[in-house]
Amino acid sequence: MRTLILLTLLGACWAQFDPNVQSGRTAIVHLFEWRWADIAAECERYLGPNGFAGLQVSPPNENAVYYDPWRPWWERYQPISYKICTRSGNEQEFQDMVARCNDVGVRVYVDGVINHMCGAGGPGGTQSTCGSTYYPGKEDFPAVPFSSWDFNDGKCYTGSGNIENYQDATQVRNCRLVGLLDLALEKDYVRGKVAEYMNKLIGYGVAGFRLDAAKHMWPGDIQAIVNKLNNLNTRWFSGGAKPFIFQEVIDLGGEPITVNEYTGIGRVTEFKYGQKLGYIIRRWNGEKLSYLKNWGEGWGFMASGKALVFVDNHDTQRGHGPGGASVLTFWDSRLYKIAIGFMLAHPYGFARVMSSYNWPRDIQNGQDKNDWVGPPANSDGSTKPVTINADSTCGNGWVCEHRWRQIRNMVKFRNVADGQAFANWWDNGSNQIAFGRGNKAFIVINLDDWQLDATLQTGLPAGTYCDVISGQKEGSGCSGISVTVGGDGKARFQISNSAEDPFIAIHVDNKL
Ligand code: AAO
């Protein structure tokens, strides 16, 4: 009985770190700006069957509408109310999506914008996705309702009222992030309204939340809101399951606010991951793949069980937020596939894959002039549906990285390797590396300017395996490279430095 109580208490403490995924599923995808109807279909036709654990959606609540620039993606980070009503769809479509995804074992995580409402200079009137009236100049949002009492101004001491200096933790929390009206989250009324919104979504079956701009909220305020959240819907989750929480805190070092202030509440985004992996895979600053041997905590990252990891996100792929030019994206597809392949093979952190739309990138002096361009849209501003081509790629301007064979198959690799130890590391002291996961899976990468030819200990049982990067098992055959593992667990790998994808990944589910 005492053990039971202890376990229950431990469970309660650790609950927000648990993504509530179905067993055997390990990675999620951010379907940035997708419509709810398209996501529901994608869960059924692709994410469920291919072993994806879940997905992150763009903010579902009503936002300000901008025409200058024309319908930027970032308008969704300017809340007007907590009505479920955006370019992605309405409340009924949202509910339908969550239910259909859960029914095929795919979890939904909501991007929760709870630090602020719209910009102080927002358009106002009824320029909002659901037509709710609001007055940014008076800090009046009748559709919630929030009034000027519910904002932080009195506690911000910068001249502009905005965050001017990230070295001052108080202004980072109490002043406006890029002019966004900063909610007074220490007020019980404000906490209550936010929790009411999140609980509505929990009721529909969402499994957790990304907390946008968590750095700009006091950890105690976030904890108080999390404490008000209901348990997950028992139609899909076991009784007592708590929502998964991952907080967006950008900590690359050098600022007083660190991730450690937030890791007690839930998981935290590890921004060092994509930035540093970008440097290594681009081989910038003399970095080498062999340095990845102690990747993870050995690199000064937070504990693995606290981290949400990703190569790029919707900000860093277009130069918003941190990371800079090193971050790899679909624009650098060859290196990007290697970065994602490495992330999904490596046990560190809970992994998120990005799924983007295309935009007319226009880099001048290191800045993308078109960093604001919103999702593929019709002339009336409505978001275009995601169409699926005969070769299973996406149309209408959607990139769908998660459907690239190499990425999709590495999600499966991660599922097969789940719970298996990092093992059998090998490197050539330069940019050729290999490692395995217990006796289930093995990956070899060549980013040197010469051929890789090595006989390596894979840890796998003897047999012939089909490489899931160049192809995959098709019936009893293999559409890619075949690798033969001997009775001693060793196999010879040859990877040309000019191969389209200079890496090989094998696992026990693709044994021929
Ligand atoms: C838009 C317009 C603005 C306008 C505003 C209000 O663009 O001109 O003033 O509306 O009308 C998104 C867009 C914003 C947009 C906003 C609202 O990115 O452009 O503003 O929607 O529509 C900080 C935050 C972080 C935030 C990130 C973008 O800490 O939370 O900025 N990310 C989230 C979302 C993001 C969203 C919001 C928050 C707001 O993911 O999409 O904004 O809801 C340092 C700090 C970081 C800080 C960056 C900002 O980073 O550490 O905390 O991120 O600065 O640039 C090196 C350093 C690194 C540093 C970096 C950049 O790498 O090592 O620490 O340089 O200087």
Q: Parallel, antiparallel, or unpaired: how do β-strands 503-507 and 441-446 relate?
A: antiparallel
DSSP class of 470: T
Cα 264 to Cα 100: distance, rounded to the nearest angstrom: 32
The per-residue pLDDT for 14 is: 60
Phi, psi of 365 (to 5 degrees): 50, 45
Find the 315 Cα to ligand 1 centroid distance in Å: 8
Check if 74 has its Cβ closer than 6 Å to any atom of ligand 1. Answer: yes
**What is the value of pTM for the model shown?**
0.97
For residue 69, whether the previous peptide bond is cis, meaning omega lies within 30 degrees of 0, is: yes
Look up residue 124 and give its two tokens. Answer: 């106002």
The per-residue pLDDT for 445 is: 99
Query: For 395, how many CA atoms within 13 A lie in the half-sphere containing its CB?
Result: 7
Instruction: Identify the CA nearest to 204 among candidates 315, 69, 336, 57.
Output: 57
| Contacts with 470 (C-beta within 8 Å, 6 or more apart), sequence order | 479, 480, 481, 501, 504
Cα 143 to Cα 197: distance, rounded to the nearest angstrom: 12
Look up residue 205 and give its two tokens. Answer: 């079956």
Examine the residue annotation and report whether 212 is marked as an active-site residue of this protein. Answer: yes
CA 89 to chain centre: 21
Instruction: Identify the CA nearest to 294 among candidates 311, 308, 280.
Output: 280
pLDDT tens, residue order, the chain (512 aa)? 454 444 444 444 567 999 999 999 999 999 999 999 999 999 999 999 999 999 999 999 999 999 999 999 999 999 999 999 999 999 999 999 999 999 999 999 999 999 999 999 999 999 999 999 999 999 999 999 999 999 999 999 999 999 999 999 999 999 999 999 999 999 999 999 999 999 999 999 999 999 999 999 999 999 999 999 999 999 999 999 999 999 999 999 999 999 999 999 999 999 999 999 999 999 999 999 999 999 999 999 999 999 999 999 999 999 887 767 899 999 999 999 999 999 999 999 999 999 999 999 999 988 899 999 999 999 999 999 999 999 999 999 999 999 999 999 999 999 999 999 999 999 999 999 999 999 999 999 999 999 999 999 999 999 999 999 999 999 999 999 999 999 999 999 999 999 999 999 999 999 99
Find the 354 Cα to ligand 1 centroid distance in Å: 18
Cα 433 to Cα 419: distance, rounded to the nearest angstrom: 22
Check if 111 has its Cβ closer than 6 Å to any atom of ligand 1. Answer: no
Q: Which amino acid is at 53?
A: A
Instruction: Identify the CA nearest to 215 among candidates 187, 242, 182, 192.
Output: 182
Examine the residue annotation and report whether 96 is marked as an active-site residue of this protein. Answer: no
Check if 164 has its Cβ closer than 6 Å to any atom of ligand 1. Answer: no
The per-residue pLDDT for 94 is: 99
Q: Are 30 and 314 in contact (CB under 8 A)?
A: yes
Neighbours of 13 (CB within 10 A): 11
Q: Are 331 and 361 in contact (CB under 8 A)?
A: yes
Look up residue 346 and give its two tokens. Answer: 């490596």
Q: How far is CA 340 from CA 31, 152, 210, 351, 393, in A?
A: 16, 40, 21, 10, 18
The per-residue pLDDT for 8 is: 45
